[in-house]
Structure 1
């Protein structure tokens, strides 16, 4: 097996790295020895289906969580943030690490430490300083980037060996510690992405198929301004939808077997979707599921088809075809999965009217960001429309570089010695 934390070129600017290195020296009175970087991500299409085992299509962002750190000779992890909103955290590594109060950012630091202690009995911690330019609670995987960064740092210091896909799975398991029952997309793309590319992420086992983003395509991120905090009040809503998907799968698979339509019990959505046409599944399920279960089921099976079709459109450089599938995805998330909001719907509409060929919410929903696709020559028009028709109308012109930016498909996580 290859080493997960194998050194690669670290992304980011020199000024940013220098800033956190200086902060490290102030806090710990010595110099850091290592840097780790784990990017955020934007999911282009395939929402709320990774935890159902179905492929998704994200890309890593140029924005990332970065930690400079120095190994310790004990099991203590001490991590400070350059963002004053987040207090320093310190704890001892072990398989029985206890969770702090719900919503505490430190739980994302504890999560990989507990998982690696349980799996590999790691014994060595670190002192570190974190800096992240991923918008927080915006659906761009800022929390998973922290999990990956801390996990990679600990793996590197404790000589943990694992294949990248296996490590992504470990980090997805680790995040259950926080209380969110996600899939594995966020961890996989943050760890395994390539420059200039999106990736089809498949599961069980995790594997990535990289697809080069055409030069003339421009993905734009726009933050609605509504907090999308999975570890907060919306966690129950997020987990409820996953439960409904699991219940629907069991009911449909059992009835298909009992009626002799299938020869065996399908235990996963990939098996089920491969066995019968989508329209057949939807017709069959309509009278077996509750209304809410059927809406969730319909979103999952139709979104799976949109992912495959959209990837084909990118391979064919068909920007309008890809955009049409993005639009259909948003409509399904709004109507069937019911995770959109009025603000997200409005920002999607503004982007489309401003020249985007497609726009949809990205991430878990309930707030957060929209991703819009435009021809590069029209990107300025879309950005201008969003600024004037959405942000200025709400008096949100401050911090525009955080709220509205072009997504650059970027490489995955890395660790290097300073």
Structure 2
């Protein structure tokens, strides 16, 4: 790369874009068997490692995508997939030497021929976020013997004829497909049941939600408390989940941050997840732009049921909508006063309220039904407490320290 080149740069003999965020080409004549992609790189360009003799590649956290044919027909046998990855292009890993593949949690699709003709591939794990697997994706992976499907809903297998089936050219009788406990029938009644005879329930189930409030695709002014209802009682595993919010597009959208992160509390069959303020003293709704798409990803493993089954990842789509007039929630004048453990909950204009008191671990301590005006609760021990108020579709949460 000549001095002064404004399009490219060489980093230790490997060609990158001038900014260092795209790896453009790895030299075909290199003799090394292992390579670490430079920090700050977001993507590997089309065919960048194709036909190389590299056997191991180390990928930094923050990497987003591998373009078409990125590693096709190379000697690649080992690579890590950071959580940040969202896209593998067509034939990105076709005819490689990989033996085990665990697809990234945040990918949504496996594209055409991505791992085709990888004849040493034995084990494949498909996370719950994968929605579609396109034609030829695993075509000719003749060594494949086990597929671990982690989602409650089977990924759609897209193809036109039998020859372009995502798993064409595989002896289906030698493949065991492991699915979550309780969801075998869902897979058997899908295209998976037509393709594979050995569908086996694993010992681990999924704690699948029944509904969310707000519902998916709701139009609203801000992202506040999200109430998740489960079919049975939920207990909290993670009080400060790593919820992600982006606007614009689900996979490539602009991140939306809030100073206090997110908090979660469980009560019976309901779990509240909300953006906290910078002091983590209560909800801090995230304003939404009018007409803009927002995607909220609630991670897996924040709650469990009595059997120990964990929730799977929940992705919700909302649309910003600015209403005219006064904000009804703000006009309620709802607040809490704390007089040495005597909690007076002023409900303002809210009526027929359920007022619940939780300790710091999310356990329900006390509750009042059909409250209006002012409700009073008492706490004896010092510590952190959460008050949740539910009135119809309105949910308000307060953090109290005694």
TM-score interval (norm. to shorter): under 0.3
The structure richer in helix per residue is 1
State the TM-score, normalizing by the size of structure 1. Answer: 0.27
Return the structure number with greater relative CO, CA threshold 8 A, min gap 6.
1
State the TM-score, normalizing by the size of structure 2. Answer: 0.28
Q: Which protein is bigger by CA-based radius of gyration? A: 2
